[in-house]
Amino acid sequence: MSDVLRVENLTVTVPSLEGAVPAVDDISFTIPTGTKVALVGESGSGKSLTAFSIMRLVDHPVKIQTGKIWLGDREISSLTDKEFRTIRGAEIAMIYQDPMSTLNPIMRVGRQIIESIQLYSDVSTKAARIRALELLNDVGILEPEKSLNSYPFEMSGGMLQRSVIAMALSGTPKLLIADEATTALDVTTQARVLDLVDKLAIERNLSVLLITHDLGVAAQFADEVMVMYDGRIVEKGSVHQIFTRPMHPYTRALLDSRCDDTVDYSQPIKSIPGQPPRPALRGDKCSFAARCSHVQENCLSSTPTLIDYGNTSAACFHSEKIISMSEVI
Amino acid sequence: MRALDGVTFSVEQGSTLALVGESGSGKTTAARMVLGLDTPDTGSVAILGKRLESLKSEELRVLRRSIQVVQQDPYSQLNRRHSVQRIIEGPLIAFGETDASIRKAKAIELLDAVGLERAYLNRRPHELSGGQCQRVAIARALIIEPKILVLDEAVSALDVSIRAQVLNLLRSLQRERSLTYLFITHDLGVAKYMADDIAVMFRGKIMEKGNREDIFKNSAHHYTRNLISSVPRTEPPIQRKQTYDIQALPTINENDACSYRSRCSVGLQQAKCQTESVPLTSGSASHAWLCHFPLENGMK
């Protein structure tokens, strides 16, 4: 299977009092065609910045320092900004947490979708309108004609997110990046929107990069999961591997600190002590060391890189210990 | 329009009641009523045995000492121009404590109780993380030793690892200080962890209430069941999905006797749910629901 996206050695810096510090630090990953990959992490871990960098939506003072990105066989990181405009939206589409960051509040939703269709293909307004109705129908909107004539403020959050998804599909993208796209929705709506994206992905051979802080969403939706902490990918693997046999202590701790309806309320949840770090010059050490219950001397003197264990990899010197722990549980 | 419609609940001293529901269900409106920030058109709210509507403004002020609130947004609920010390001392100042050294000593005591070091006294909100802001908000709420804490989505904006810390803190504070919590949340997992009793709200009504067992094991209302099953579990599915539920949720028909009918697989088939108003049915002393055709579990 070929890869729809390949990212190599991406480093993105943000300004701080210490000068430019990496908020995304030398990360590499691939998204195989037709797979759904979840990028999970806490706020400030660099997951959204990774997505924005792929879409080339970062601007001074945030800076992409190094990194090569391929879309299929084509290297898109060397394109000029003008050339990149034929990629953004058309071949890689992105949806965000707040649909109103995409939509114009004083323009009917239909006109915005039609405009988007006409941006990517040379069709008449009449043909684009028919296509817009099809798209609205495809995204599960019950009365497409009515929605076409609605203003954003007349729609619910779920309907707006569906309209934005319709708009994202107007350019027949290969890759859809969903940045916390269901976070603001009610759970009953979220379940349906995730189902929708799942179905669209299969029907259209669309690959998805789902950015989320919600472990449940990642577990239900993704084929593969990447866990980000302090600008690095600390673990990646198949969804089953990550959720049943995590190899990085951070992943393990995240799973232990979840509070879903399977929670054992008779005792305190195992929380992770301390705070997630802010981007900084971290020096040569594991950035999770300060919060890790398995920390040893070498964690403080060198930075672990991803070690391949077959269908998963983890950036930890002591992964074997974490696994044996999981098995006991 | 009725934001709340015939809502009745009570919270036992020292226990936690969670109001759960999706946006627009009226849970925050209910909290505002309890805090005396809004007044109901009909019905009444009694706190510590005193009916709010019968109190004079001075009596209400005194009663407000016993009930405090922590809100969702860690930053906007704190005055960003004030130091942490000034923020935590705020309620003491409002209630006339003029001795600065007493106020400071109290502030330090509370800072310690919420797990922050003394060095934070001089910080300002922008120097704090979201979790630290929530701790400061909790310290402020507790400094005048209230009996009741209204927690309105108080952990919803926090990261997973930090949320666990704050939830554990709230549970131990409740034990130490025999606090009563009214916990407003959209998150069923958090409700299960925190609450002795849970009331599930939909469109201004309590559809079902009961203890943890009643709600999670023996849910009677179709909405409760749907809500619980919609929460994405952290166990990946063994098999790929075969069927997809992708249609947008149908809009609520205001004329239906049961407001959930248009989304209910059972109710849609039943004329009764459209025409006959739904009575409150009790399954046990703790468990009650608003449904003509409850799920079997609830009926024992």
Provide the pLDDT for residue A123.
95
Q: Do A140 and B228 touch (CB under 8 A)?
A: no
- Sign of the C-alpha dihedral computed for residues A143, A146, A151 and A155 taken in this order: negative
Contacts of A210 in chain B (CB under 8 A): none
Provide the pLDDT for residue A229.
96
Contacts of A216 in chain B (CB under 8 A): 231-234
Tell me the nearest-neighbour CA distance from B244 into chain A, angstroms: 6
Measured between alpha carbons, how far is A207 from A198 in angstroms, rounded to an integer? 10
Contacts of B23 in chain A (CB under 8 A): 157, 186
Q: What pTM, to 2 d.p., does this model score?
A: 0.91
Provide the pLDDT for residue A327.
52
Confidence of residue A328 (pLDDT cuts 50, 70, 90): very low
Measured between alpha carbons, how far is B194 from A261 in angstroms, rounded to an integer? 11
Asked whether A35 and A23 are in contact (CB, 8 A), the reply is no
Asked whether B115 and B176 are in contact (CB, 8 A), the reply is no
Provide the mean pLDDT of chain B. 92
Give the residue on B whose Cα is nearest the Cα of A240: B236
For residue A43, pLDDT beyond 90: no
Measured between alpha carbons, how far is B61 from A46 in angstroms, rounded to an integer? 46
Measured between alpha carbons, how far is B62 from A215 in angstroms, rounded to an integer? 44
Q: Above pLDDT 70, what percent of chain A?
A: 98
Confidence of residue A329 (pLDDT cuts 50, 70, 90): very low
Measured between alpha carbons, how far is A155 from A177 in angstroms, rounded to an integer? 23
DSSP A257: T
Measured between alpha carbons, how far is A223 from A39 in angstroms, rounded to an integer? 11
Confidence of residue A91 (pLDDT cuts 50, 70, 90): very high
Question: Beta partners for B41?
Answer: none
Surface of B (160-199) touching A: CB under 8 A = 160-165, 167-168, 171-172, 186-190, 192-194
For residue B280, pLDDT beyond 70: yes
Least CB-CB distance to A257: which of B129, B164, B244?
B164
In this prediction, residues A27-47 reach a mean pLDDT of 95
In this prediction, residues B164-193 reach a mean pLDDT of 95
Confidence of residue B297 (pLDDT cuts 50, 70, 90): low
Q: Do A187 and B186 touch (CB under 8 A)?
A: yes
| pLDDT tens, position by position, B59-106 | 988 898 999 999 988 889 999 999 999 999 999 999 998 999 999 999
Provide the pLDDT for residue B300.
44
| pLDDT tens, position by position, A181-191 | 999 899 999 99
* Length reported for chain B: 300
| Backbone φ, ψ for residue A171 (5° rounding) | -100, 10
Residue with tokens 């939909």: B202
| pLDDT tens, position by position, A195-217 | 999 999 999 999 999 999 999 99
Provide the pLDDT for residue A326.
58
Provide the pLDDT for residue A93.
96
In this prediction, residues A281-289 reach a mean pLDDT of 89
Asked whether A148 and A108 are in contact (CB, 8 A), the reply is yes
For residue B58, pLDDT beyond 60: yes
Site from A147, A188, A221 to mutate, B interface, most B CB atoms within 10 angstroms:
A188
Give every CB contact of residue B237 below 8 A, 6+ residues apart in sequence. A220
Measured between alpha carbons, how far is A93 from A88 in angstroms, rounded to an integer? 6
In this prediction, residues A78-102 reach a mean pLDDT of 94
| pLDDT tens, position by position, B281-293 | 999 999 999 999 9
Provide the pLDDT for residue A1.
60
Q: Do B160 and A268 touch (CB under 8 A)?
A: no
* Alpha helix positions (H), A68-124: 81-84, 109-120
Which tokens go with B199? 């009331």
Provide the pLDDT for residue B245.
86
Measured between alpha carbons, how far is residue A213 from residues A42, A204, A254, B82 in Å?
6, 26, 10, 31
In this prediction, residues B113-132 reach a mean pLDDT of 92
